[in-house]
């Protein structure tokens, strides 16, 4: 089983193009903006990784992630709390 984690980087020129594309029916129904790209005939690249990820859906999840972040050696790069 795979879990999808979306980190979606765009180059500036493609982001401008994406914003000019009209929303698509499936994008609206599923509330997934990547559907806009696919329905306009473009490709989405996914990368398989062994990295463990955590979901944040509840206050308990948030607490667990914050605790885990304290051990992250890169924490100083992306946050100041």
Question: Does one domain contain both 7 and 44?
Answer: yes
Domain holding 32, by residue range, is 1-50
Give the three-class secondary structure for 35: helix
Question: Does one domain contain both 79 and 57?
Answer: yes
CB contact at 8 A, 5 and 53: yes
Distance between alpha carbon 23 and the CA centroid of its chain, in Å?
19
Question: Does one domain contain both 56 and 46?
Answer: no
Question: Does one domain contain both 5 and 16?
Answer: yes
How many separate domains does the chain show? Answer: 2
For residue 65, pLDDT over 60 is answered with yes
pLDDT of the residue at 71: 86
Confidence of residue 54 (pLDDT cuts 50, 70, 90): confident
- Average pLDDT (44-70) is 89
pLDDT of the residue at 80: 66
Sequence-distant (6+) residues with CB within 8 A of 75 are: 69
Question: Does one domain contain both 46 and 57?
Answer: no
Question: Does one domain contain both 45 and 66?
Answer: no
CB contact at 8 A, 27 and 40: no
**Average model confidence (pLDDT) across the chain:** 88
Question: Does one domain contain both 64 and 26?
Answer: no
For residue 19, pLDDT over 90 is answered with yes
Question: Residue 31: left (phi > 0), alpha (psi -120 to 50), or beta?
Answer: left
């Amino acid at each position: 089983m795979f879990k999808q984690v979306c980190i979606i980087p765009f180059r500036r020129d493609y982001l401008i193009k994406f914003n000019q594309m009209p929303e698509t029916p499936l994008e609206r129904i599923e509330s997934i903006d990547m559907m806009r790209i696919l329905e306009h005939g473009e490709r989405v690249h996914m990368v398989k990784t062994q990295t463990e990820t955590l979901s944040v859906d509840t206050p308990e999840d948030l607490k667990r992630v914050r605790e885990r972040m304290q051990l992250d050696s890169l924490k100083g790069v992306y946050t100041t709390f």
